[in-house]
Structures are given as C-alpha cells and as structure tokens.
Structure 1
Amino acid sequence: MIRVADLPDAHPGRRLLTGRTPFFVAPTEPRCSYCVYVPRGRAPETEMSVVVGVHGTGRNVGALREGLIPFAERHNLIVVTPLFPAGIDDPDDVHNYKAIDAHGIRFDLVLLEILEQVRVRWNAQVDKVMLCGHSGGGQFAHRFLYLHPDRLAAVAVSAPGCVTLLDNSLTWPEGTGDSQQRFGITVEPEAVARVPVLLVIGSEDDGRADLAATGYPGRSRPEQLDRLAESLTGHGTVTLKVEVPGVGHSAAGTQPPIVDFFAGLLADA
C-alpha cells in the first residue's frame, strides 16, 4: 500500500490521495468501502487526527463527507466516511450495520481495519478518533462506543431510531447483557463514561410513523434519545443534549452542533 509520504511532491498520486479521495475497499471485507478527505495543504509527515462520519439508512456518504470538510480544513483533520452497503446477503436488508453484526460481518471490526489502513497511508492518529452518526449512523455510533470506548475521543449521536441501553438484564441490541457471548467484549460502563457524548435531534423530528413501520410502535425519536441519555448519565457519562429548532430528520440540519461539539473539545485539549 502506497503511503502519501513516500510520493514525490509532483507525483499524480499525491492529487489522488489528498482532497476528496476515491472509495477504497475495506481491508478484509471488500463488500464495504470508505472514502477520505485529506486537507491538501498538510505535510504528509505530520500526524493528523481523524473524525469518522457514519451514514444513515440512505447511505448518502458523499453529502456526509462534504458537510465535514470545512471542519476538517479549519482544524487540519482527516475525514473518514465508511460505506456499509445495503443488501448484503439479503437484497432487502438496509439495516445490517446498525446493530454492529449481521450476515457474519462485524461492522465495528471493519471500521477498525479501515482506520488502521488510514493510519498507514495518511500517517493519521487513529488511536482515539471522533465519531459521529445520524439516524442509523447514530445507532452504530453509540453501540461502537459501548464496545470500543478506548478508541474514541468523543461521540456525537444524532436521532437514532432505536437504542441500546447499558442494561445487563437485556440482550443485544436492546441491552448489553450478552455482549461477551456475542462479541467477546464485556461492556464496561466506567470506560464508556470516560468518553464525552453529544446527543442531538431536530425539534421537528418525531419519527413515530417511521419507527412503527420498522417494529418500534409507540415510541418517537426524541423518546428514544431520552432513553439513551438516561442510561448513559445514570452510569456516569458526561452527556450534552441539543435540540435543533425547526429541523426534522436531517443529517445536514443536525451537523452544526456536532461540529461545534467537536471543535470545543479540540479547543480544550
């Protein structure tokens, strides 16, 4: 694998591997892929921090990356946006990655392998990354937090339709009681509590009809977010909750407070 730092300044590969990159397959799971944004002005020898954005059900990865580019330019960060495609082994399955494992794929491990490739090719600092996700991406993000808190500097969860509670009396994905049997990882609330968390939702994002259609009748997205907030804070996690006025179920609409949250943590570092 070519490292950007190994290429001469005028090499065309430098142009291909900085700015908006192509999609690359995930190292051991070629059904998944990722793209990156790397500020062109950075020196390849300089180690850069990473923000990861995880798409929702619509898989609009391009718009997600575009929305994070100004933030990356201001703070000299690399943006990593994985693509977990719909229809793996089941042509109608649009949910696969949200609960972390499906069809024999551990999507959390896929992301960790992607980050290792990003570390090597772009000289990125991936020991602890900032992670955000909207809707289905928000589901993935908080579940990834439970399983890999040591890999996260901060997490922003936007408008998840269903949530996993830090409750060992419930099995995954409702709770964490069988995480050791399922993932080989025991969820440790004390470790989760060391990671700052933002919970964000639009004021017009009720989502009751959507959730009823997907098997969660009687609940709204705000109620789901409240359940997650109560579970996290009850186990010591410092949680900030933001409601964005006039915004519905919109990744773009909830992105500004996410960027502000991450920027504030960077300023305090």
Structure 2
Amino acid sequence: MLVMNRQTDLPLVLHAQAEPLALRLSHERLAARIDLPHGRPRRAPLLALHGISRDANAIRRGFLAETLGSGRVLVTPRFGRKHWPHFQRIGRARPDLAVLELLAQAGRHGDFDTGKFALFGYSGGAQFVHRFAMLYPGRVAALHVAAAGWYCLPDPTVAWPAGLGRAKGPVAPIANLKLAQLDAFLRLPVRLYVGTRDDAREPALRQGRRLDAIQGRTRIERAQNYLLAFANAARQRGIRPDISLTLLPGCGHDFTECAREGGLARLVCAS
C-alpha cells in the first residue's frame, strides 16, 4: 500500500496496583513506564518515544487510553540528557541496545511477549525509531514515524548519515548492517505523520544546503520525499511498499496537539 493522505540489568519497581497496572523500570542510564491492560494483551506492545523535549509523560498521556482500550501494553522510555544527549542517533552511543535490554526486562517482569513490538517516535524520537527499525526489522511489527526532522534514506548512493553510502569509522558496521537488512526493512508497514502547520525552519530542525537539497526544507517536504524514496527503493527490489503519509490538519510541531486535535494516537493504535 502506498498512500499520501491529507546494557546491564534493569531493576524493576512495582508501584501501587491501581487500574491499569503500571510498572516502572529504572536504571541509571534509562527508565521506562510500562502500562498493562486488563487480562492478556491482545496485540503487540507499543513502544512510544519522546522527542528532544524528553517529555515521556506527555507521550504516555497521549497514548494511554487508546493502547489499553485496544488491549496492548504501552512502553514509554525516557532518555535522560546526561547519559543520552543525542539519543536519536545510533553510532558511537548505542541507545538501541538499551531499548532491547529494557524490553527484555519488561517482558520478563510484566509477563508479555516483546519478541515483536510496534514502534512510535515523535520528532527526535521519530529519527531514532526508523533507524532502530533498519537495524532490527525482524523485531518490528509496525513503524510509526511522526514529525521527524530528517531521515536516513534507504539509499546506498546517498552518503551516511543521510543515506547508507560511504560510512566510515565506528559507524561503518551499523551502516553495513542496515544495508544488509534493507529488504526486510522495506517490507515493514510504515506510517508517517506530520502536521499541516509543521513547516517552520526553527533551530531544532537540522538544516544545511546538502540536506535541504536531498530531503527538503521542512518536515512536511522531508516526509513526502522519504515516502517516495522508501517506495522507490522497495520497488527496485521487487517489494510492494506498505507506506503511507498522513497530514494532521491544523497541527504544528507539538505532540499533544497532534495526539488530541489531529487524532495521532487513534491513528497509530488503529493500524
């Protein structure tokens, strides 16, 4: 479907068993809130990641009713500034390994399957989750990318980190692994989201002549161009792309606004 529409053990703390049951995994380098539905989960867990504001509570509030109502576990990590100043990147630092360990611990303590999970990220979190999915496509049930500032294109002719070509030094093995698993990644269901008013060139948006020329000048243009790049890469490999872009009417670069006014949480949990 192609659519364009308008590293160590993690100790567990079990909090008061209000409804729903909430767990908090804590570690000196990473923390997450785990919300469990009544009974056995009926769908793959959703891991939902914040942007550079680090407001994991806003992400949790935005998704809680929709996830629990659909019978799925909600995992909302928080990458602290001290240990993860650039959590959206996977390179010398390895936030991906921290997430995998956290999910393993969560599944053991919460008694639910984390073999496959849906991934959502907003803004900087969106940058992380699509890069994570390129490394671990077999673990991802569905990929939801909202308001990403920029993308790693599935294209070996575009130099790293904007694409998969010409990576050097410590990041070369990561780029090579993404390239080796590109077919599996291109088979994933991918849903892109961005607000119709999210077109500002503010300082938080990575900019540059080369990046702007390759990906576009705004988050809207970059999402549109990523959709086309993903679809073209899939078709070149004989894969039918399953990717869509939904423009959230009247929404700017604000997760809460997108979740409430744009229906973002409902859209993510319905797919």
Range class of TM-score, shorter chain: 0.7 to 0.9
Q: Which residue type is aligned with residue 252 of structure 2?
A: G
Higher relative contact order (CA 8 A, sep 6+): 2
Correspondence 1:6-155 to 2 at 5 A: 15=17, 19-25=21-27, 30-39=28-37, 41-42=38-39, 49-88=44-83, 93=85, 96-101=86-91, 104-155=92-143
1:261/1:48 CA distance change after superposition, 3 Å: closer
CA–CA separation in structure 2 for the residues paired with 1:74 and 1:47 = 10
CA–CA separation in structure 2 for the residues paired with 1:186 and 1:161 = 20
**What are the ranges of 5 or more consecutive residues in structure 1 without an aligned counterpart?**
5-11
> Which of 173, 176, 186 is the equivalent residue of 1:181?
173
Structure 2 SS opposite 1:105: coil
Q: Does 1:204 align with 2:210?
A: no
CA–CA separation in structure 2 for the residues paired with 1:264 and 1:203 = 21
TM-score, normalised to structure 2's length? 0.79
Shift, 1:3, TM fit: 9.0
Matched residue, 1:8: none
- Maintained 8 Å contact 1:158/1:254: no
TM-score, normalised to structure 1's length? 0.79
Shift, 1:251, TM fit: 1.1
> Which of 187, 193, 200 is the equivalent residue of 2:186?
193
Q: Which residue type is aligned with residue 19 of structure 1?
A: L
Q: Structure 1, residues 90-119: CA drift from partner, whole Å, max 9, x if none? A: xxx4xx111223xx4311111111111111
CA–CA separation in structure 2 for the residues paired with 1:47 and 1:240 = 25
- Maintained 8 Å contact 2:21/2:35: yes
CA–CA separation in structure 2 for the residues paired with 1:168 and 1:137 = 23
Q: Structure 1, residues 7-60: CA drift from partner, whole Å, max 9, x if none? A: xxxxx86728963333512xxxx3122111123x326xx686310001100010
> Which of 227, 246, 249 is the equivalent residue of 1:245?
249
**What are the ranges of 5 or more consecutive residues in structure 2 without an aligned counterpart?**
1-9, 235-240
Pairwise CA RMSD: 2.8
- Maintained 8 Å contact 1:201/1:243: yes
Q: Does 1:166 align with 2:154?
A: yes
Structure 2 SS opposite 1:232: helix
Matched residue, 2:222: 224
- Maintained 8 Å contact 1:202/1:253: no
- Maintained 8 Å contact 1:247/1:253: yes
1:48/1:199 CA distance change after superposition, 3 Å: closer
State percent identity of aligned pairs.
26
CA–CA separation in structure 1 for the residues paired with 2:63 and 2:229 = 29
CA–CA separation in structure 2 for the residues paired with 1:51 and 1:148 = 15
CA–CA separation in structure 1 for the residues paired with 2:119 and 2:110 = 18
Structure 2 SS opposite 1:22: strand
Q: Structure 1, residues 60-105: CA drift from partner, whole Å, max 9, x if none? A: 001111111111221121111111111338xxx4xx111223xx43
